[in-house]
Amino acid sequence: MKTEKTEEKTRYSDQELEEFKRIILEKLAKAKTDLDALREAYTNNGENDINDTSPTFKVLEEGYQVLSKEENARLAARQQKFIASLEAALVRIENKTYGICRETGKLIDKERLRVVPHATLSIDAKKDQYKRPASPAAEEN
């Protein structure tokens, strides 16, 4: 009598990993293009300046430019973090550990990985993360 083991899948196949790699590489290329655009925006020394504007508008425009450059710099920093996350996902693909939840050790759902390819937590682990108190003081309440 032959007994079949129904083992839970512990990692994605090489073919599945290749699919995720393509998704990540596409997102990575777009993210780098977006980062270049953001950097260009906050380091722009182009000809669209305020040198020929009346003093009243010049002050307002300079204030706006500073805020705009700060916002673009913040967005660029966020984009750099996203790029680093995508690159880390590529390393996990090479190590064949991609798609494994770092909390539960189970596979993250394929649909989640297709939408958020740099995810390291399953939906359940992510929900549990929000349920946990932020500090020991919060546990006492």
Number of Cβ within a 10 Å radius of residue 118:
20
The structural domains of the chain, ordered by start, are: 14-46+53-140 (1.20.120.910)
The tens digit of pLDDT for each residue in 81-137 reads: 999 999 999 999 999 999 999 999 999 999 999 999 999 999 999 988 888 766 554
Sign of torsion over alpha carbons 24, 113, 94, 22: negative
- This prediction has a pTM of 0.71
The tens digit of pLDDT for each residue in 13-44 reads: 999 999 999 999 999 999 999 999 888 877 76
Cβ atoms of 72 and 81 within 8 Å: the answer is no
Triad 120, 122, 127: Cα angle to 5°: 115
Return the closest-CA partner of residue 76 out of 40, 116, 44, 45.
Answer: 40
